[in-house]
Each structure stands twice: as structure tokens, then as C-alpha cells.
Amino acid sequence: MKKVLCVMSDGFEELEAVGTIALLRRAGITVDVCALHGDQACGRFQICISDLMPFEDADKTDYDALFLPGGPHYATLQADETVKQTIMTFAKQNKLICAICAAPTILGKMGLLKDKHYTCFTSMNEDFGGTYVNAYTAQDGNIITGRSAAAVIDFAFVIIESLLGKEKADEVKKSIYYDK
């Protein structure tokens, strides 16, 4: 069974977090949602999620992928040394690192987008040393990025396909009448 670690703090983008988590779980992927501080996180639109695993309690070696939702909380994640260490561990182990909207900028500032194709919230794109792709999603090796909340479905399906294969992604697409 594939496992994804999701980390959030206050200010996460609800649609990006919950939409992606729901689709991954629909595909049968275990998603452990962790709060960076305590056991809850409130989104940018004041939707709070409680009973979360404290990030410090997660066994970071037990996951196939890391998922960072976007939203204003990206600055908190970017400033946290444990989050950055976790990202670097996933990168060194060539495990999937999935970030959407503002969150890919964390990867960019850490040098992980250098020589990679990526996307992010367009107005937040800087010179990260890679190639910005004007698309909802981009995958380059173990890095999967999404542009914005509008990209959630496509973003989640790239993750599903990367972890479980095209057949499983197509099965889930069919189950939600996704026709693109």
C-alpha cells in the first residue's frame, strides 16, 4: 500500500489540500495529514481540520510521497527546519515530492527546481533555475507541481498515476466522471 505524508499549518488552501487528499484516498492511497503545530490546522478560509497527527510524530521514513498544499501557510512551512529536512530527505531518496500553488516556491528556494520543469502560482514564479511550464501540472522526475486551486484534480491524478499507475488513475477518473 502506498503512503503519502501531507503537512499543513494555519493558512493552508482548503481546496488544494482536501481535494487532493480525497482523490488520493479514493485511489486507495493512505494519506496521513499532519499539523505542523499541535493537532489541528485552520485553512485560509477558516475551515479547520482537527485530530491531525502532529508532524513531529510522523515517521518520515514510512512514506512514498510528500504532499505540500499551497496557501499562505507556505511561508510557515518554508521557515520550518524540520519541514526542510524532510523535503531534503525525500529528495535524496528520490521519493515523490508533490507541491501545489505557492508550495513549489519552497522547493525552488531550496534549489530543488534547478534544471527541472515545474509550475506554481504564476505570480509567485521566480528564477528557480528551472523551466516554468504554463500548465496546470508538471512532473519532472520525482517532483510533481501544480499551478493553483484550479489544478487540483489534474494534480491529484498525476500523483495517483505516479504511485499506482495509469490504469488505477483511469479507474478513479471514471468513478468521478472525469472526462478531459
Q: What is the largest CA-CA distance in the chain?
A: 41
Catalytic residues: 101
Handedness of CA 116, 3, 77, 94 (dihedral sign): negative
Contacts of the segment 55-62: beta carbons below 8 A, 24+ positions apart:
55/7, 55/82, 55/83, 56/82, 58/5, 58/32, 58/34, 60/5, 60/86, 60/89, 61/89, 62/3
Cβ–Cβ < 8 Å for 36, 76: yes
Q: How many residues does the chain have?
A: 180
DSSP line for 58-113: S-GGG-SEEEE--STTHHHHHH-HHHHHHHHHHHHTT-EEEEETTTHHHHHHTTTT
